[in-house]
Chains A and B, each alone.
Chain A
């Protein structure tokens, strides 16, 4: 039964993760475990045929498309509301003038870049 096999794989990865003496190779296993779990569900659906097989075969494609949409949406959303601060650039110029004046009077060579 492929579902059983996949399930054991997940268990193995999860336990391997927590029992490993040096805390290395952690995050990639979490991602692998999630992928295995998803595959297990998919294989189970294929085997049991609760949904027509022709639909089940397309599910991974839907998943990839959904992930891509999520990524594009997050990037686009982030771009649209990218926080900018034009005023800060002006304030910084004022600070630079102030600092140069103060330091110049006290013998720090701030004349040349």
Chain B
């Protein structure tokens, strides 16, 4: 917190990592490339990666400066919600952007998030893959089918107020993110869905920007039977509590 008092940024970009040694370097480079005139900081929340992710972050600090690339590590894997909270504690920005480190979220979309927020004064700007100019690469038919099925189910039953519920490339006003995290309990990508549904119910202003999603790692392995069960449980939970 002492550090946060001395510097003041407009945007804090929180990137949770676990074994993203190469990707974290690439994403930091791309963020700096695409935000040349923006006052921002990157907060890497690393959950004790054994592959040396933190060494790479220290090397990146040598290149870009410790005031711009912050390493806020945790001893072990402790979950996504608490990772955001941990990053948030060290964030000085009025706005907080959350993105994945695996390059499925490309930093070239950051300016459109910022522009959208400025134009509309939105509390949350969320990236959506399911609109014009958005899209997904690297999914087979089965993966697309489950994704569409899950989406139709959620849109019909929950009326969640956003077209892409499980994506996590989002910009939040800082206090809005604090409020939402404190009221969300789910894990994994149900957590992302809970965040946006609760935000809608609380009456926050949500805007969307198209993003593309290049899945280089997963494909079918990501969405097995247990994930579908988890998703359905999450859906019922949200039906009952929001």
Cβ–Cβ contact A95 & B26, under 8 A: yes
Given A75-B149, A79-B145, A89-B138, are A110 and B22 also a contact pair (CB < 8 Å)? yes
How distant is the Cα of A92 from the Cα of B214 in the complex, in angstroms?
Answer: 8
Shortest Cβ distance from A72 into B: residue = B152
B240 close to A78 (CB less than 8 A) = no
A49 to B56, CA, bound (A): 76
- Whether A83 contacts B134 by the Cβ 8 Å rule is yes
Given contacts A71-B156, A99-B29, contact A79 B148 (CB under 8 A): yes
User: Within residues 72 to 94 of chain B, which ones have a CB less than 8 A from any CB in chain A?
Assistant: none
Looking at the assembled complex, report how far the CB atom of A67 sits from the nearest CB atom of chain B, in whole angstroms: 9
B145 to A88, Cβ gap below 8 A?
no
Stretch at the interface among B59-67, B169-177, B186-194, B222-230: B59-67
Residue of A nearest to B138 (CB): A89
Q: How far is the CA of A31 from the CA of B137 in the complex (A)?
A: 35
Measured between alpha carbons, how far is A88 from B137 in the docked complex, in Å? 8
A85: chain B residues at CB < 8 Å are 134-137, 212-214
A residues less than 8 Å from B129 (CB atoms)? 83
For B213, list chain A residues within 8 Å (CB): 85
Report the contact-size class of chain B (Cβ under 8 Å from the partner). Answer: 35 or more
B242 touches A26 (CB 8 A): yes
> CB of A27 within 8 A of chain B?
yes
Residue A48 CB within 8 A of the other chain: no
Listed stretches A6-14, A38-46, A58-66, A101-109; interface member: A101-109
Report the minimal beta-carbon distance from A17 to chain B, rounded to whole angstroms: 12
In the complex, A108→B61 CA distance in Å? 10
In the assembled complex, the Cα of A82 lies from the Cα of B129 at a distance in Å of 9
- The bracket for how many chain A residues form the interface is 20 to 34
Q: Chain A residues near B134 (CB, 8 Å)?
A: 83, 85
Identify which of B29, B106, B130, B240 gathers the most chain A CB atoms within 10 Å of its CB: B29
What is the chain B residue whose CB lies nearest that of A86? Answer: B137
Could you tell me the distance in whole angstroms from the C-beta of B162 to the nearest C-beta in chain A? 15
A74 to B135, CA, bound (A): 18
Q: Which B residues between 142 and 182 are near A, CB-CB below 8 angstroms?
A: 144-145, 148-149, 151-153, 156-159
CA distance A79 to B152 in the complex (A): 11
A88 touching B106, Cβ below 8 Å: yes
A69 within 8 Å of B (CB atoms): no
Give Cα A102 to B137, complex, Å. 26
Q: How far is the CA of A81 from the CA of B103 in the complex (A)?
A: 24
Give the complex CA separation of A28 and B197 in angstroms. Answer: 14
Residues of B that sit less than 8 Å from A by CB: 21-22, 25-26, 29-30, 55-56, 59-60, 62-63, 103, 106, 129-132, 134-138, 141, 144-145, 148-149, 151-153, 156-159, 201, 212-214, 216, 238-242
Given contacts A78-B130, A95-B30, 20 further A-B contacts (CB under 8 A): A26-B242, A27-B158, A27-B159, A27-B238, A74-B156, A75-B152, A78-B148, A79-B148, A83-B130, A83-B136, A85-B212, A85-B214, A89-B216, A92-B216, A96-B26, A99-B30, A107-B63, A108-B59, A109-B56, A113-B22
A interface list, Cβ under 8 A from B:
23-28, 31, 71, 74-75, 78-79, 82-86, 88-89, 92, 95-96, 99-100, 102-103, 106-110, 112-113
Question: Can you report 29 residue pairs joining A to B where beta carbons are below 8 Å apart?
Answer: A25-B240, A27-B157, A27-B159, A27-B242, A31-B157, A74-B148, A75-B148, A78-B130, A78-B152, A79-B148, A83-B134, A85-B134, A85-B136, A85-B214, A86-B137, A88-B106, A88-B137, A89-B216, A92-B103, A92-B106, A92-B216, A95-B106, A96-B103, A99-B29, A100-B26, A107-B62, A108-B56, A108-B60, A113-B22
